[in-house]
Amino acid sequence: MADQQSYVEKTVEKMMGCRNPQCGYARYVCPKCYEERIVPFSCKTRFCPSCGKVRTDEWVNRISQELLDVPHLHLTLTIAKELRRYFDRGRSLLKLLLTTAADAVRRVIAVTCGDIRVGLVYTCHTFGRDLVFKPHVHLIMTKGGLDKDGGWVDIDSIPGGRLAATWRYLLCKRLRQLHPHDGQLRRLIDNLYRKRRGLQVYTDSFYPKGVAAASFIGRYMGHPPLAMSHLTLL
């Protein structure tokens, strides 16, 4: 926790000095007219509303070149609030959310659509609009895929109920395997199964073009916590 607090303090200090000439700059001089121009250094941190947006725009432009220009589905996979503390204490488990979400989607597609290959872009978002720790996965997938012969197969939709059940089963199973002697976690998972709550999925969002899907997911990949529109100069 102390290391994290120190990192946050250093990041905020960098942001406060972003494009401040007193924090460093580059000087450019024209060899003919000797006109000088001073360009202050930027902080290049994700926390900075200005630098964070530049980073996001660059990522969107890059990933847009790799996405297929086809319709995409947007899936959101969440976890129960009772499980959040496990991921808060062990941030390395966030990777487990990503891999499990992708595995769950691929399993459902294999059952409902057969052996086809789909395109996936997914990211873990660790907070909600209230800035409270709420890890969840945003996943963009092509609304179709390639069969073994290279032909395109359309996907009408992803069955939300089946995906939620697969997501719940895989994630709970893998958490139990990581914490085999944690009785509290075992009882918590059993309770979630009985009440059938938590670990929900949302499958209604749709993007007609890959660029639109990249723009959306890019906001979650690298956007700063606060947008420029939310800041006021005093």
pLDDT at 177: 92
Task: Give yes or no for residue 102 having a pLDDT over 90.
Answer: yes
**Structural domains in the chain, sorted by start:** 18-45 (no CATH), 69-209 (3.40.1310.20)
Cα 51–44–234 angle (5° rounding)? 50
Instruction: Taking residues 50-60, report their average pLDDT.
Output: 76
Instruction: Taking residues 79-96, report their average pLDDT.
Output: 89
The three-class DSSP label of residue 220 is: helix
Average pLDDT taken over every residue of the chain: 83
pLDDT at 230: 60
pLDDT at 109: 95
Cα 102–105–109 angle (5° rounding)? 140
Per the listing, tokens 């390395």 go with 92
Q: What pLDDT digit, counting tens, does each position of 171-229 carry?
A: 999 999 999 999 999 998 888 877 766 788 888 777 777 666 666 666 665 566 665 56
* Strand order through the sheet with 133-142: 120-127, 133-142, 72-78, 201-207
Q: What pLDDT digit, counting tens, does each position of 17-26 carry?
A: 888 888 888 9
Q: Are 104 and 77 spatial neighbours (Cβ–Cβ below 8 Å)?
A: yes
Q: What pLDDT digit, counting tens, does each position of 129-175 carry?
A: 777 888 999 898 899 999 999 999 999 889 999 999 999 999 999 99
> Exposure string (b/e) for 178-196, b if CB count within 10 Å is 16 or more?
eeeeeeebeebbeebeeee
pLDDT at 107: 96
pLDDT at 221: 57
**With bands split at pLDDT 50, 70 and 90, how would you rate the model's confidence at 91?**
confident
Q: Are 126 and 93 spatial neighbours (Cβ–Cβ below 8 Å)?
A: no
Q: 211: closest CA among 72, 75, 64? A: 64
Pairing mode, if any, of strands 152-154 and 144-146? antiparallel
Q: What pLDDT digit, counting tens, does each position of 57-70 carry?
A: 777 777 777 777 88
- DSSP track, 189-200: HHHHHHHT-SS-
Residue 185 C-alpha from the chain's centroid:
26
Q: What is the dihedral of CA 64, 75, 143, 168, to 10 degrees?
A: 130
Amino acid identity at 77: L
